[in-house]
Amino acid sequence: MSQKEYATIAPAEGKLGILVPGMGAVTTTLIAGVESVKRGLAAPVGSLTQLGTVRLGKRTEGRSPKIKDFVPLAGLNDLVFGTWDIFEDDCYEAAVHAGVLDRPMLDRLKEPLSAIKPMKAVFDQEYVKRITGPNVKDKGSKMEKAEMLMEDIRSFKESSGASRLAMIWCGSTEVHHSAAAVHQTVKDFECGLMKSDPSISPSQMYAYAALKSGVPYANGAPHLTVDTPAMMELARERQVPIAGKDFKSGQTFMKTLIAPGLKARMLGLSGWFSTNILGNRDGEVLDEPGSFKSKEVTKLSAIEQILQPELYPELYKNIYHKVRIEYYPPRGDAKEGWDNIDIFGWLGYPMQIKIDFLCRDSILAAPLALDLVLFMDLAQRAGMKGVQEWLSFYFKGPMTAPGLYPEHDIFIQLMKLKNTLRWMQGEDLITHLGLEYYD
Ligand SMILES: NC(=O)c1ccc[n+]([C@@H]2O[C@H](COP(=O)([O-])OP(=O)(O)OC[C@H]3O[C@@H](n4cnc5c(N)ncnc54)[C@H](O)[C@@H]3O)[C@@H](O)[C@H]2O)c1
């Protein structure tokens, strides 16, 4: 694939089915958002696929089409949604419960939202400790449950009339665990499924079912799913794109804006303390130490990778970095994130930066989920298989080929994403050299 000058992309014909394990705050905000944009009730703010442009050729050419006009993406009118959740609420009820969007807006969308009812989930309390619900597949080995998910995928495709599918995990964060023996090869994993190995989590069963069914899989949460040798092998074998992990939506988004700026100016950093208050169901799940650990790992990695202390020891070798999330129900989805950044400048003189980001978690995450499924479907039609590193832009913990360090700098990530789109369409890559303007 990488040897070709550009990709051959199959057209986006027919409907694209978006399959989502977990129908909570992010998923309902995504679906309600797509329905309102389709009806002209709101604008898709925050979505690169819907609003972004890509410059082509030289600056003097004046060619900057919208991304959605430049590459053949599925249109919003062609999207259909299928979900799983441990609760029986339909999408309207779940959106009301999530409390992200206001009631008048949801009431205008009641008909399409009420029609989306979650399929029975594969769930394991060992992996998400704080919640329990009735809408679950409770019988069978892990392999049988994965097969039931494959059957769900088949019947959703048939009933929705979708010609293609893409899956994105927007379910709760599972407890932190590392890849075990069972995650090393597809064969090990399949044996593990048959033996109901305790190291196999529900999200891994959804991912297995998706990849076996030829459906791309993106992971919006920080836990271990497609970032294992077994899943990477399966994705390559089935020629399916995978991407992850953990939406880069709020505080880490801020970090990856600021840290590259400090490094660009060669300013030093001695400490970065981040804390959040959050009162939605995600906050409740993250209040449990095992699930928080998954989040902490992806949240901590970004700064170190961006600042490269091994190259700049005098600026970044002794950073004290701490991240906290506090569950505080009165705030619901309206998270508040504080950052205290201790920096130093010329001759080592200390300075401080304070950030108080009064954000809305799911308002920030929903457009990322939309872009991801549209780009994953594009990648599939372009024949791009395995890890989609060009989608690092969307993730706190970007997946890469084994042995490569991930790129966290959001501006480099955006350049890489746009250059990938240019490459797909056979356009010149943009290097920003620009000497020709001065010849
Ligand atoms: N909102 C953000 O800004 C943001 C950013 C990064 C990552 N995330 C991650 O995205 C995910 C979704 O966030 P949210 O705010 O919508 O959470 P949420 O708690 O509102 O929704 C998660 C839903 O998943 C369901 N669920 C749990 N386990 C399941 C399973 N095995 N199968 C099917 N459904 C299952 C829960 O019942 C719940 O309805 C979380 O993992 C969160 O950490 C969110």
For residue 149 and ligand 1, the question of a CB distance below 6 A is answered with: no
pLDDT digits (tens, 9 = 90+) for 9-29: 999 999 999 999 999 999 999
Ligand 1 atom nearest residue 249's Cα: 3
Domains 15-247+363-424 and 251-358 alike in fold: no
Q: Is the CB of 247 under 6 A from ligand 1?
A: yes
> Quick check: pTM over 0.75?
yes
The 10 Å Cβ neighbour count of residue 105 is: 15
Beta bridge pairs of residue 271: 320, 342
Chain segment 303-330, per-residue pLDDT in tens: 888 999 999 999 999 999 998 889 999 9
Question: Of the residues 97, 126, 172, 276, which should be mutated to test ligand 1's pocket, given the most ligand atoms within 8 Å of the CB?
Answer: 172
Q: Is 172 in the pocket of ligand 1 (CB under 6 A)?
A: yes
User: What is the rounded average pLDDT of the residues 202-213?
Assistant: 98
Nearest to 52 by CA among 363, 367, 360: 367
Q: Which fold has domain 15-247+363-424?
A: Rossmann fold (3.40.50)
Q: Which residues contact 104 (CB under 8 A, 6 or more apart)?
A: none
Inter-helix orientation angle 25-38/361-381, to 10°: 70
| Digit-coded pLDDT (tens) for 318-369 | 999 998 889 999 988 888 999 999 999 999 999 999 999 999 989 999 999 9
In this prediction, residue 5 carries a pLDDT of 65
pLDDT (tens digit per residue) in 134-181: 999 999 999 999 999 999 999 999 999 999 999 999 999 999 999 999
Under 8 Å CB-to-CB from 375, ≥6 apart: which residues?
Answer: 49, 73, 388, 391
Which residue's C-alpha comes closest to atom 8 of ligand 1?
221
**What pLDDT was estimated at residue 53?**
97
24 lines ligand 1 (CB under 6 A): yes
End-to-end CA distance of the chain: 36
Q: Look up the CATH number of domain 251-358.
A: 3.30.360.10
Give the atom of ligand 1 at the shortest distance from the alpha carbon of 87.
37
pLDDT tens-digit map of 258-277: 999 999 999 999 999 999 89
Looking up tokens 């998706």 gives 210
CA distance 172 to 281: 8
**Residue 95 Cβ contacting ligand 1 at under 6 Å:** no
How confident is the model at residue 2, as a pLDDT? 46
d(CA 285, CA 292): 8
Q: Which of 363, 383, 426, 382 is nearest to 73 (CA)?
A: 382
As a whole number of angstroms, the distance between CA 235 and CA 214 comes to: 8
Model confidence at 190, in pLDDT bands (50, 70, 90)?
A: very high
Each domain of the chain, given as residue ranges in start order, spans: 15-247+363-424, 251-358
Q: From the CA of 89, how far away is ligand 1's center (Å)?
A: 15
**Cα 323 to middle of ligand 1, angstroms:** 20
For the cut 70, the answer to whether the pLDDT of residue 124 exceeds it is yes
The CB of 364 under 6 Å from ligand 1? The reply is yes
Residue 222: pLDDT over 60:
yes
| 97 CA distance to ligand 1 middle (Å) | 13
Residue 385, Cβ neighbours under 10 Å: how many? 18
Q: Is the CB of 86 under 6 A from ligand 1?
A: yes
What is the structure's pLDDT at 226?
96
Q: Tokens standing for 342? A: 């201790």
Q: Quote the pLDDT of residue 325.
A: 87
- How many percent of the chain have pLDDT more than 70? 99
Ligand 1 proximity of 174 Cβ (cutoff 6 Å): no
Each residue's pLDDT tens digit, 273-313? 999 898 888 788 878 887 788 777 777 788 888 999 999 99
- Judge contact between 29 and 365, C-beta under 8 A: yes
Whole-number pLDDT of residue 4: 55
